Each structure stands twice: as structure tokens, then as C-alpha cells.
Amino acid sequence: MKQSLPLRLLLAVTILFFLLLIGLPFWWVISGSFKLPQEIIAREPTLVPQSFTLQHYAKLLDASAYPTYLVNSLIVGLASSVLTVLLAVPAAYAFFRMELPFREGMYRAILLAYAFPGVIVLIPIYGLFAQLGLVDNLLALIIVNTTFALPFSIWMMRSFLATIPRDLEEAARMDGAPTPVILRRILVPLILPGVAAVGVFAFISSWTEYLFASVLILSDDKRTVPVGFAGIIGQYQIDWGLLLAGASLAILPVVIIFSLVGRAFVSGLTDGAVK
Amino acid sequence: MTYKTTSSLTLSILLLGSGSALAQTELMLWHMEQPPHRVERVQELLDAFNAAHPDIVVTQEPQNWGEIYAKAPAALAAGNGPDLLFAIPDFAPILKEIGAVQDVGAFVGALDAKHDLLDSAVASYSYDNGVWAVPLYNMAMSLWYHKGAFEAAGLAVPKTWSEWQAATEKLTADGKYGIGLPASKGLYTDQVVYNFMVNNGASELYNADGTFAFDNPKTAESYAMAAALQKFSPPDSAGWFWGDAEACFASGTCASILQFTTITTYETQGGGDAAKLGVAPIPHADGESQHNTIAYANAVMLLSDDPAKRAAFETFISWLLEPANYGRFLNMEPGLFLPVTADGAKADSFWNDPLVQKYKPQIETMIANSANGMLFGFTNGRTFPSIAPISGQNVLSEVLQAVVIDGVDPAAAVAAGQVRMQDIAQ
């Protein structure tokens, strides 16, 4: 259907407005990270940088443990993401297809768990992990992040599985395929966008998680980006250049992952939402 | 040499080696000085200490002030807490309440005899028949100002509130602000507000019997004055913390601020002309005669009851407070951390730092201002455990927010603030 010129103009202006609304803060942070300190805090802020320096990045990467924090975050994020996918897919299948007692009740209980604020279970989890010797261990963060990402992931995967015709499974079953094979060979390839969506969701949740990372990790060399970076910035005196450089680098892995699987993520969300 | 002899010799060396390793006392230090240059300086000192004391190994794990209030008790309860932990006065009672802190009174007495510790620094950790931390460095607020702005307006540095208000009003023009005062809910605003209280005879939050003394006319006057000056601050100052005020000052937008220091930021981001950076005592109310300020000492607590660790702790802290080492410790953030010992205030290791030399007059004024330092909840030797949650919930800044943002009458806001304190204390 061909759109009229005024409508297209309106759409273009609307898109431009939202592009600026969303993009300007990013531009402000990224461009600011290349400005000299005096320009960053200048009385009249500059939208286009009047100076250029890499000193903030040099300081961040050379004089702080930021690279270590980045590596830790990547380990925790990727491991949480993989583990979440590995658990969410069979769990969602079980909730969707298998005849389990109290299936609907359990399904709703899982979503209820998603509604719990993490801070409520912080102390019990700390005590539990201390007994297991997992305090100050990245594995603790992987377990916690996976636990908190799973309920929404299962819900999303289940909605996604609902879009696949049952006939496909029955045909495979008639050919003698057991359930794990059906899941691996038939269903998973068909719900790859959903798998990608769950993976990205789990990764971003893990990448930005602060509360548990701040309490469960004690050593500086095991900190993740949000916690380690908060310490680098300082309390009484803020190095604004360092802050902006660190914030710019922190979003980079997320941007890269989105650029690789972003399309699948969006289609995963929308396909799963509409049966 | 036969195989047997060689084996015996090797075994002996290994046993000797393991014996000396077993005799080593390990101390884990948690501190909240996380910026990289501070961590680096602490590590330099630890390396020097460990090299000079082969029987002791001190290691550091920097932590964040934002989490330490929850993290330290949890870690101690789980048995993986540190042996040494830095503290500020309102943090120490929390750990003392759970029985984690050791009394270091005798050790502090010995240090006092040797180095002459600042009395107010020791006092804020002395209660319940003990001294619960060794003071390490002091912080005190001052009035920081741009000399050029005051000279251009023909103003002298204010000494009284009436002079202060007039100067602030005159300096607020052409997109610049006479002062940058916060009105956020947070520790910075708590500290700034208390500066008004201590300069108007309203320093006491508690009566001697533990009831609250906050609700009184002097406190209300102090809030009224803070709110009056806040009108001459930038519009976003209601959400400020320390760094925002410093940025406003370093950029020249604010002619003055109340801050512990601005030296590092002024040096790196504000031009760094030492001759133009002014620092003065905080003005007092017209009826008062002495300039006071908020000040508090950061200290180190001993959390282990192991006698060997206590001995190692005393060796380490004694070494750190030696004038030859102490200045290097203080200058992990030059111009922010002030000495708590008399000999430390004269130490070459302190004054020889290039930045300290450059801003020597300012730092001398900071040290002089700190002599009249007080901290809410820790005055006159009266310390009550409820100060920790009251400070943690930022009641002082809540009251200022009520006055500045909600327009509540200062006397009514102060009365409500006292009720809030009573609720928290219960």
C-alpha cells in the first residue's frame, strides 16, 4: 500500500525524534570520552567535541583493572547465557508438551519466582554459597544469573514452542525418534530465533547485574564490570573522562552481540509473542 | 655427595622453608580506597612493609563504600571476612554490634604517646569502654572559592552568615552561581547541612541521656540558612553528590562550594593555577565566634581475635604511622587525606609530594580548619548505636529536602526530622 507524502513525512519526523532521543545520550557519552577534561566539565557543554584525546582510555586500560573486569563479565555473561539456553529449552518443552502433575501450577510458580526482587534472597544465597565454598567465585555469579534469567526464558521459549505444529513432532515420533532427539533435531532448529533471544536476554541480564556481583565477589581480580567500574570512578572525586571511557567500553560487547544476533532477538520476541 | 645426603639436605631445606612459611602471619586488609592510583599506592606500601617484615604478609582487597555495610557483616558471619577493615565512625558501631571488632585501646594509647594522635579522631571511635579502631587519616570540609570571582566582585571572604549570604547573592549573575550547595538525599548533603549546624551551636543530635536534641530553634535556623543559600546554587544541585559540586567548581560555574578538597580536580580539570584557588574556614552564624566544620577520621579496625594476627596488625600499623611512611600513605590522594598525628603533620614524606608542595597554603588551611572538626552523633563523647541507621537513612538531608524542595517551614521540617530519628532509633 502506497503511503501519502504527509504520512511518510510524519513517520520520518517521528523516527528522527526517537533516534535523537535514544541516540543523543550515547553520543554524549561516547564523544565525551574523547574530550579533554576541561571540555567535559565546561560551563557550556559542546555537542561536537572541540578537543580530542585518548588519555581516558589509556588510563582506564593501563592504570586500572578494567580489562580484568571486562574478561570476568564476558566469562560470566557467556556462561550464564549458554547455561540458561541449555536449561530453558528442555524446561519449556516439558511445560508445554509433557503430561506432568500440577504442570500449570508449577509454570505459574516459576513466573512468580521471576517477580521476586533479588535483594530478598541475597543473604540466604550468600549463606548457602559460603557453605558450598562458592563465595568469591565466578561460578556463583553464573548460577545466580542463570537462576534469575530462567523463569522469563522458560516463559519465552514455551510461547515460542507453541508456534510449531504438533504434527511435526508426531511424524518424528512415528518414525521412532525419542523425545531428546525430537527436541534436538526437530524443534531446536525451528526455534533458533527464540534460542538467540533467550541467549541475548540472559547475557544482558548478566552483563548489567550489580547486586549479587557486589556482595558475592570479594577479590578485585574477580569483579565484573558494573562493580569494578563503580569503584574506579571514586566517591569524593570523580574523574569524568574515566567514567565516560569506561561507560563507552562497557556497552561495546552488548552492541557487538546485538549486531550479530539482534535480528534473531527481535524476531524471537515477536514470534514468541504471537501464536 | 651421595644420593642419600643430597636427599636429606633437600628435605631439610624444604622443611626449613615450610617452617618459615608456617610462621608467617597473613593479614587480609579490606579498604574502600578503590580508585586505581590509591590501590597502587597502598600496594607500594604493602610491598615495602612485607619486604621489611618477612614474618608478616599483608594483602589488600579494595571494596566499595556502597556495598560494604551489607558485605562486611555477611562475610564475617560466613567466616570469610578480612582481618583488617577500614572504617568511618558511623560504620564501626555496626560491626561492633555483631561482636566482630576488637578493642585496640591499649595500642592506640601507645601510638598516641609516640605520635600524638588527634583527640577528636580517637574520640569518635571511643565508647563502651573501648577504642574500636585506630585513626589513620582525617577529612574536614572547608569553604573553597575562586579568588578571582571574589576579587572581581569586590568581595572579601565571608566570615559570618550575613556576609556569606550577601556575597553569595552578589556572585550569582551572568550564568554563574555564588555557591554550589547540594540538596540531594545522601551523605554529601548530610555533611553540608551539618556544617551549618556546627556553626550555629546546634552540633548535638543527642542529649546526654540518649534522647534527641535535634529539634531546637538553632537547628531550624541552620536549615533556614542552608535553604537561603541553596537558592543561589545551580538548578540541578538538588541532585548533587561530591563529584557534581567539584565539577561545578572546577568549571568556574560555581564561585564557591563546601567540600573536603578540590585540589586534584582543580589541578587536572580546572586549570591548576594554585594562586587562584582559595580555601577558608566555613562562615559561622552572626552570634557565634568560632569557625567549626564537619570532620571525621577514617580508621582501621582489627577483626581477628587471633593473638598472632593482633601482633602483626600492631606491627603493620606502627610501621604505617612512622613519619617516613605515613606521608606516602596520606598522599595516595594528595590534598584530601589529612594527618591524624602531630609528627605526621610535619613529616617530609607528606610535604614533599609535588602536588602538596604546589598547594601547600591551601593544605595548611585545611589542617587548621580540621582542628575544630565535629561529626554528627559523635560529639562530646556521646555515641549512641542509633546514629548508624540515622546516618544510613540520611535523615539530615531528608530534612533539607523538605525545606528546599517541598517548601516546608524549617522549624516544622526539623520537628518532623526528630520524629523520624525517634522512629529509626526504635
pLDDT digits (tens, 9 = 90+) for A54-112: 999 999 998 888 999 999 999 999 999 999 999 999 999 888 888 888 888 888 888 77
Interface of A with B (CB under 8 A): 37-38, 40-43, 59, 63-65, 122-123, 126-127, 130, 135-136, 214-215, 218-220, 227, 230-240
> For B175-189, how does the pLDDT look when each residue is reduced to its tens digit (9 = 90+)?
899 999 999 999 999
Domain span at B249: 141-294+375-425
C-alpha B176/C-alpha A94 separation (Å) is 65
B17-25 long-range CB contacts below 8 Å, 24 or more apart?
Answer: B20/B54, B23/B55, B24/B54, B24/B55, B24/B56, B24/B57, B25/B55, B25/B56, B25/B57, B25/B308, B25/B309, B25/B311, B25/B312
Domain final residue, candidates B370, B391, B416:
B370
Which residue has cell 549479587?
A212
Task: Measure Cα distances from B59 to B17, B32, B242 in Å.
Answer: 21, 14, 29
Q: Are residues B130 and B229 in the same domain?
A: no
| Cα–Cα distance for residue pair A22/A16, rounded to 1 Å | 10
B281 and B322 housed in the same domain: no
Do B337 and B398 lie in one domain? The reply is no
CB pairs under 8 A between A and B: 101
From CA B179, how far away is CA B229, in angstroms rounded?
A: 7
Give the per-residue pLDDT at B14: 45
Predicted ipTM?
0.74
Q: Which tops the pLDDT comparison, A127 or B66?
A: A127
Beta bridge partners of B294: B374
The Cα–Cα gap between B143 and B256 comes to 7
Ramachandran angles phi, psi of B107, nearest 5°:
-65, -45
Average pLDDT over residues A166-170: 85
More confident residue, A245 or A185: A245
What band does B219 get if pLDDT is binned at 50, 70 and 90? very high
pLDDT tens track for B138-165: 999 999 999 999 999 999 999 999 999 9
Choice between B414 and A37, residue whose per-residue pLDDT is larger: B414
Residues of A in contact with B34 (CB under 8 A): 231-232, 234
Percent of chain A residues past pLDDT 90, beyond the cut: 46
Tell me what pLDDT residue B11 has: 45
Whole-angstrom distance, CA of residue B217 vs CA of residue B410 = 9
Average the pLDDT over each of A153-162, B240-249, B314-323, B415-424 and give the range with the smallest value. A153-162
Of B61, B265, B336, the CB nearest to A219: B61
Distance CA B426, CA B417 (A): 14
Structure confidence at residue B404 (pLDDT): 96
**AA identity, residue A36:** L
* Mean model confidence pLDDT for chain B: 91
Give the residue from chain A lying closest to B234, CA to CA.
A43
What percentage of residues in chain B have a pLDDT greater than 70?
95
Q: Which amino acid is present at A15?
A: I
Half-sphere exposure of B210 (CA within 13 A, CB side): 5
Lowest mean pLDDT, pick from A112-126, B149-163, B253-267: A112-126
* The C-alpha cell that represents B149 in the structure block: 570571582
Nine-digit cell string for B27: 593479614
Q: Is there a single domain that holds both residue B356 and residue B402?
A: no
Q: Which amino acid is at A62?
A: D
Which three cell numbers mark B255?
Answer: 564561585
pLDDT higher than threshold 70 for residue B111: yes
Residue B20 lies in a domain: yes
Among the partner-chain residues B34, B264, B270, the one whose CB lies closest to the CB of A231 is: B34
Would you say residue B5 lies in a domain?
no
The answer to whether the beta carbons of residues B309 and B83 sit under 8 Å apart is yes
Cα distance between residue B115 and residue B345, in whole Å: 10
Q: Which amino acid is at B155?
A: L
Q: Are residues B40 and B133 in the same domain?
A: yes
Same-domain pairing of B162 and B268:
yes
pLDDT of residue A264: 63
State the cell numbers at B268: 587536572
For chain A, how long is the longest CA-to-CA vector? 74
Amino acid, single-letter form, for residue A205:
S
B2 pLDDT above the threshold of 80: no
- CB-CB under 8 Å, A218 with B66: no
pLDDT average, residue stretch B370-391 = 85
Is B1 a member of any domain? no
Element (H, E) at B29: strand B25-31
The backbone torsions φ and ψ at residue B103, rounded to the nearest 5 degrees and listed phi first, read -70, 125
Asked if residue B70 and residue B168 are part of one domain, the reply reads no
B161 and B87 assigned to the same domain: no
Measured in whole angstroms, how far is the alpha carbon of residue A52 from the centre of its chain? 32
What integer is the mean pLDDT of A116-134? Answer: 86
Residue A274 has pLDDT above 50, yes or no: no
Distance from the A244 Cα atom to the nearest Cα atom in chain B, whole angstroms: 14
Given a cut of 80, whether residue A189 has pLDDT beyond it is yes
Number of domains composing chain B: 2
Provide residues of B within 8 Å CB-CB of chain A: 32, 34-37, 39-40, 61-67, 70-71, 74-75, 77-80, 175-176, 242-244, 246-247, 250-253, 260-261, 264-265, 268-271, 333, 336
Question: Which DSSP string corresponds to chain A?
Answer: -PPPHHHHHHHHHHHHHHHHHHHHHHHHHHHHTTS-HHHHT-SS--SS-S----HHHHHHHHSSSHHHHHHHHHHHHHHHHHHHHHHHHHHHHHHHHS--TTHHHHHHHHHHHHTS-HHHHHHHHHHHHHHHT-TT-HHHHHHHHHHHHHHHHHHHHHHHHTTS-HHHHHHHHHTT--HHHIIIIIIHHHTHHHHHHHHHHHHHHHHH--HHHHHH--SGGG--HHHHHHHHH-SSS--HHHHHHHHHHHHHHHHHHHHHHHHHHHHHHHHHH--
Lowest mean pLDDT among A162-166, A244-248, A259-263: A259-263
Highest averaged pLDDT of the listed ranges A240-254, B83-97, B219-233: B219-233
Distances (CA, A) of A147 to A73, A88, A163: 17, 10, 26
**Residue B72: C-alpha distances to residues A130, A154, B116, B299, B390 (Å):** 13, 35, 30, 15, 19
Considering the domain architecture, whether residues B207 and B93 belong to the same structural domain is answered as no
B245 pLDDT exceeds 90? yes
A215 vs B32, B74, B253: nearest CB = B74
Residues of B in Cβ contact (< 8 Å) with A231: 34-35, 62-64
Region B234-259 average pLDDT = 93
pLDDT higher than 80, residue B332:
yes
Q: Rounded to 5 degrees, what are φ and ψ at B302?
A: -100, 125
Is A168:A183 a contact under the CB 8 Å cutoff? no
Is 60 exceeded by the pLDDT of residue B7? no
One domain for residues B150 and B189: yes
Residue B147 placed within a domain: yes
Confidence of residue A2 (pLDDT cuts 50, 70, 90): low
Mean pLDDT, rounded, for A240-263:
86
Q: Are A225 and A37 in contact (CB under 8 A)?
A: no
Instruction: Give the gap in angstroms from C-alpha B353 to the nearest C-alpha of chain A.
Output: 19
Measure the CA–CA gap between B292 and B302, rounded to whole angstroms.
31
Q: How confident is the model at residue A268 (pLDDT cuts 50, 70, 90)?
A: low
Bridge partners, B256 (sequence order)? B145
A228 CB neighbour count, 10 Å cutoff: 27
- Reported for B250-253, long-range contacts at CB under 8 A and 24+ positions apart, including other chains, are B250/A41, B251/A38, B251/A41, B251/A42, B251/A43, B252/A43, B252/B146, B252/B149, B252/B176, B253/A43, B253/B175, B253/B176, B253/B177, B253/B180
Chain A residues near residue B67 by CB distance under 8 angstroms:
214-215, 227
* A269, pLDDT greater than 60: no
Q: Do the Cβ atoms of A236 and B243 come within 8 Å?
A: yes
Does residue B334 lie in a domain region? yes
Residues of A in contact with B270 (CB under 8 A): 38, 41
Q: Is B12's pLDDT higher than 80?
A: no
User: B13 falls in which pLDDT band (50, 70, 90)?
Assistant: very low
Cell of B238: 538538588
In-domain check, residue B126: yes
> Does the residue B171 lie in any domain?
yes
Residues B409, B365 share a domain: no
Buried b (16+ CB within 10 A) or exposed e, B12-21: eeeeeeeeee
State which of A88-102, B221-235, B382-396 shows the largest mean pLDDT.
B221-235
> Residue B117 is part of a domain; what is its CATH number?
3.40.190.10
User: DSSP 3-state assignment of B15?
Assistant: helix
Please identify, among B338, B354, B370, the residue that sits at the C-terminal boundary of a domain: B370
**Cell 555477611 sits on residue:** B74
**Residue A145: is its pLDDT beyond 80?**
yes
In the numeric block, the cell 552540633 is attached to B203
Instruction: Please report the DSSP string for B65-114 in residue order.
Output: HHHHHHHHHHHHHTT---SEEEE-TTTHHHHHHTT-PPP-HHHHHHHHHH
Strand B56-62 and strand B373-374: pairing? Answer: unpaired
The residue ranking higher by pLDDT, A196 or B228, is B228
Please report which confidence band the pLDDT of residue A266 belongs to, taking 50, 70 and 90 as the band edges.
Answer: low
Residue among A37, A63, A215 minimizing CB distance to B36: A63
DSSP B163-176: HHHHHHHHH-BTTB
Domain assignment of residue B129, yes or no: yes
pTM of the model as a whole: 0.82
User: What pLDDT was estimated at residue B15?
Assistant: 44
Indicate if B313 and B270 belong to the same structural domain. no
**A45 CB contacts (<8 Å, ≥6 apart)?**
none
At A188, the pLDDT band (50, 70, 90 cuts) reads confident
